[in-house]
Amino acid sequence: MGDKRAGSRVLIYSHDTFGLGHLRRCRTIAHALVERFRNVSVLILSGSPIIGSFDFRSRVDFVRVPGVIKLRNGEYTSLNLHIDTEETLRMREEIIRHTAEVFAPDVFIVDKEPLGLRGEVGPTLAMLRERGTRLVLGLRDVMDEPRSLAPEWQRKNVMPALRDLYDEIWVYGLPQICDPLEGIQLSKRVRRKMVYTGYLERTVPHAGSNSPLPEIVNHPYILVTTGGGGDGEGLIEWVLRAYESGEPMMYPALLVLGPFMQPEKRSEFMARIARLDQVDAITFDAHIEALEANAVGVVAMGGYNTFCEILSLDKRAVIVPRTAPRMEQMIRAARAEELGLSRMLEDDGTYEAAPMVRALRQLPYQNRPSDVVVPGLLEGLENVARLIGPWLPDATPADQTVEDRFAAAHQAGRRQVATGA
C-alpha cells in the first residue's frame, strides 16, 4: 500500500443526498475511533451541503463532493452547480476514487449504499480491494420493508459486491429488533459476513448548544425534532395544532424545524409560533444532544440517529414515523413500541389535535427506555472499535499501558509473519 507511514487511516463514505442521518452516523463513528485509538486518522467523504456546520475532533476531517438531490420522480439533479447531472456524478466518482488513492486507508467503511450513489463507489471498492484495504459495509438497523428493498438491490446489482468485494457487513442494531436484510436472498457466505454491533451510543457534547436558544429552555420543556426537516412538515403541523387547540398543556415545546425544511413553510410555522405562549422554535443545532438531554421528553419522526439519542439519553419519547419514501421509520417505531422503548403515534394525514394533545400530556408519565432490559442495546461503538482494531496496524487503544502496547506489537509481528506481509 505504498511507502511506510506512521499512523492508521480510516476512510468513510456517506452519500448524503437527503437529510442528516448518514453524515451524523458517520461522524459519530469517526469520533469514537479517534477517541479509542491513538495514531488513527479518519476522513469522511460526504455530499452534505451543511457538513461544515458540524465540529470535528482532532484527526477527523472531511472531503465534500458536489451535492446532488433526489427529486420526487426518483431522478437526481445537481444541488448547487448548474451543470449536467451526469457530469456531477462523474465528478463525484473521480473525487472519491482520487481521495481514496491518495489517502490510502487501511479500512474503508461505506454507509448504507453498497455501491454508493448510482454506483459511484464501485471503482474505488475494486481499486482498494486490489490494494488489500479492509472493506466494510455499514447498515442501519432497518433499511426498508423487504418487498421494496429486494427489487431495489436487484436493480442496483449490489449482490456481487457483497459477495466479492466486502469483507464484513456491520449492522448498527440488534437482530431481536430487526434484520435489515430480511427477505433478501443472501448466500451463506454473505450471511457470515454480517455482524450485529448494537446501536451507536450518543453522549452530550461538552460544548453544549452552538446556537442562541430561546428563553423556553430555561424551564422544563418538550423537544420536538424533525431531523433534517425536509420531510418534517407533518410533525410540526400536528404539534402546532395541539398547542393551538387551547387545551391546557403541562409543558411548553421547543421545535427544531431542521435546515432542509422549505423556507416558505418555515416562515409560515414561525408566524404561527409567534402567536403561542408555550411554543418556540429554532432551525438547527449541531449539538442537538444537549437539547434532548435537558428535555422532559422527545417527540420525533424516528430516524436512526434520533432513536439512538433517545436510547442513549434515556428519554421518554413519542415517535411519529414517516412511511414514504421508505417504511424504515415505521418498522423501527413499531418494534420499539412492542418492546416498550418508546410510544408510536401514526400519522393519518388529518392532524386532528386531540390525539397529539393526549400524547403530549401522557409523555411525562411513560416508561423510560432503561426500564426495558435489552442486552447489548447500546454497545455499537465499543463493538465497532473491537471489530476494526485488528485492521489498524499502527493504532493502540487510548487507555493502553506500555505493557499492553508491547504485547500488541508482538502480536502484530506474528500476524505479519503468518500472512507473509
pLDDT tens, position by position, 145-180 = 988 999 999 999 999 999 999 999 999 999 989 999
**Which class is domain 8-201+378-419?**
alpha beta
Quick one: pLDDT band at residue 418, thresholds 50, 70, 90?
very low
pLDDT tens, position by position, 25-44 = 999 999 999 999 999 999 99
CATH value of 215-371 in 3.40.50.300, 1.10.287.470, 1.10.8.50, 3.40.50.2000: 3.40.50.2000
pLDDT tens, position by position, 244-294 = 999 999 999 999 999 989 999 999 999 999 999 999 999 999 889 999 999
- Which residue reads 423537544 in cell numbers? 223
CA 355 to chain centre: 29
For residue 289, the one-letter residue type is E
- Model confidence at 377: pLDDT above 90: yes
Quick one: pLDDT band at residue 211, thresholds 50, 70, 90?
low
Nearest residue to 23 via CA among 294, 182, 209, 259 = 259
Those residues whose C-beta lies under 8 Å from the C-beta of residue 309, and which sit 6 or more positions away, are 202, 288, 289, 292, 298, 315
pLDDT tens, position by position, 114-129 = 999 999 999 999 999 9
What pLDDT is stored for residue 410 in this prediction? 45
Q: What percent of the chain has pLDDT over 70?
A: 88
For residue 296, the one-letter residue type is V
Question: pTM of the entire structure?
Answer: 0.89
Neighbours of 301 (CB within 10 A): 24
pLDDT tens, position by position, 213-242 = 899 999 999 999 998 888 899 999 999 999
What pLDDT is stored for residue 77 in this prediction? 63
- Model confidence at 344: pLDDT above 60: yes
What integer is the mean pLDDT of 77-99? 85
CB 128, CB 160: distance < 8 Å: no
What integer is the mean pLDDT of 135-139? 98
What integer is the mean pLDDT of 303-308? 95
In angstroms, rounded to a whole number, what is the distance separating the alpha carbons of residues 345 and 337?
10
Edge-first strand listing for the sheet containing 279-282? 279-282, 253-256, 222-225, 297-300, 317-319, 343-344
Those residues whose C-beta lies under 8 Å from the C-beta of residue 146, and which sit 6 or more positions away, are 182, 183, 184
Q: Of 209 and 319, which is predicted with more confidence?
A: 319
CB 11, CB 395: distance < 8 Å: no
In angstroms, rounded to a whole number, what is the distance separating the alpha carbons of residues 224 and 254?
6
Give CA separation, 175 vs 122, 181, 304, 383, 412, in Å: 28, 10, 15, 15, 32
What pLDDT is stored for residue 229 in this prediction? 86
Same-fold call for 8-201+378-419 versus 215-371: yes
Instruction: Give backbone dihedrals phi and psi of 170, rounded to 5 degrees, phi first.
Output: -95, 130
What integer is the mean pLDDT of 102-116? 97
What pLDDT is stored for residue 212 in this prediction? 79
Nearest residue to 171 via CA among 126, 140, 145, 134 = 140
Domain regions of the chain by residue span: 8-201+378-419, 215-371
pLDDT tens, position by position, 378-417 = 999 999 999 999 999 988 888 754 444 444 444 444 333 3
Q: What percent of the chain has pLDDT over 90?
A: 75
Neighbours of 78 (CB within 10 A): 18
Mean pLDDT over the full length of the chain: 89
Helices (H) and strands (E) in the chain, counts: 14, 17
What pLDDT is stored for residue 76 in this prediction? 61
Nearest residue to 97 via CA among 133, 53, 54, 58 = 133
What pLDDT is stored for residue 207 in this prediction? 66
What pLDDT is stored for residue 146 in this prediction? 85
Grid coordinates of 215: 428563553
Sign of the Cα torsion 235, 240, 241, 247 reads: positive
What integer is the mean pLDDT of 325-354? 95
What pLDDT is stored for residue 159 in this prediction? 95
In angstroms, rounded to a whole number, what is the distance separating the alpha carbons of residues 344 and 102?
47
Q: What is the DSSP string of 95-138?
A: HHHHHHHHH--SEEEEES-TT-GGGTTHHHHHHHHHHT-EEEEE
Q: Is the peptide bond before 220 cis (omega within 30 degrees of 0)?
A: no
